[in-house]
Structure 1
């Protein structure tokens, strides 16, 4: 019962902003977003060459960004091509601007 009351307190924008903020909560994910914002797309293999982390760790970071809707992946066997989800990225910018201006 108490959990339902807590859910009712928060707006949909607050939930979305918290999800995006969680996805931005690690410097590797911020780096990936900055990289993808400067180019149209990037293959996971290219990212693993650029970042000094295990491929499994990179996959976890990419999954977190994808689950938040900030990036999208497309399988081009044997690689996966990742791109910034421009629509969700714009939505995130609007949510953060609204948050900082309140």
Structure 2
């Protein structure tokens, strides 16, 4: 059985693919839970459960509009994830630089062998 996300753990919350799908939909703007559930092919209670977890970890906001609850992305909640991933930026930049050098060497060798 999957471990439930804690209220301070964005990493655990986004480990669930359906929650990442919800965040992806919310990038485009505010949506009611019924739209999210329909778009993702899940029941409204399932979507609400995922939204509750995302709200508890600070990844989504909710506001009432009449009787409807509308959810929106709170990108500030992704800051810990962004900062952690940012730590790998140097690794990827160096890897791409090495790959680029290798490709340039291959092109140079190919031109010289013709």
Superposed pair shares fold, TM > 0.5: yes
Pairs within 5 Å for 1:1-102: 19-37=9-27, 39-98=28-87, 100=88
Cα distance in 2 between the residues matched to 1:73 and 1:90 = 19
Give runs of ≥4 in structure 1 deviating > 6 Å.
none
Cα distance in 1 between the residues matched to 2:12 and 2:80 = 15
What stretches of structure 1 of length at least 5 have no aligned partner? 1-15
Q: RMSD of the alignment, in Å?
A: 2.0
Determine helix, strand or coil for the equivalent of 1:95. Answer: helix
What stretches of structure 2 of length at least 5 have no aligned partner? 1-7, 92-114
TM-score by length of 1: 0.70
Render the CA deviation track for 1:41-87: whole Å, top value 9, x for unaligned.
Answer: 11112112212111111111000100110111111122111111122
| Greater Rg over alpha carbons, structure | 2
